[in-house]
Amino acid sequence: NAGVMQNPRHLVRRRGQEARLRCSPMKGHSHVYWYRQLPEEGLKFMVYLQKENIIDESGMPKERFSAEFPKEGPSILRIQQVVRGDSAAYFCASSPTQGLENTEAFFGQGTRLTVV
């Protein structure tokens, strides 16, 4: 059972370009979470998705950022018109159906976005 798979591992974009980050959850997991880790800062929640639904996007910047988790295929975090401040490590986590107390979050290796 492969873990949470993120690609690409490293992504370089020029200012104004679009960045697409992909996340395939663990097999059997239907909940996907995206987190962002800015340099020298902790991980901050961005968005929580289930298949074809955005459940909580309270951590997403209001502009330029969007996320989806289609019925088929990986979850996508899209950043339009990237700026230098978007440079960060973006992590995806997945979990199975809600288990509350005993549900463990499993994280991918992250995508490190550098905007030049």
Partner 1 sequence: KQEVTQIPAALSVPEGENLVLNCSFTDSAIYNLQWFRQDPGKGLTSLLLIQSSQREQTSGRLNASLDKSSGRSTLYIAASQPGDSATYLCAVKGRANFGNEKLTFGTGTRLTIIP
CB of 105 to partner 1, least distance (A): 6
Under the binding rule (CB under 8 A), the answer on residue 12 touching partner 1 is: no
Which residue, among 51, 21, 24, 25, has the nearest Cα to 37 in the 3D structure? 21
* Rg of the chain over all Cα atoms, to the nearest angstrom: 14
Under the binding rule (CB under 8 A), the answer on residue 69 touching partner 1 is: no
Under the binding rule (CB under 8 A), the answer on residue 56 touching partner 1 is: yes
CA 71 to chain centre: 17
19, 21, 24, 48: residue in contact with partner 1 (rule CB under 8 A):
48
What is the C-alpha to C-alpha distance for residues 31 and 38, in angstroms, rounded to an integer? 23
CB of 100 to partner 1, least distance (A): 5
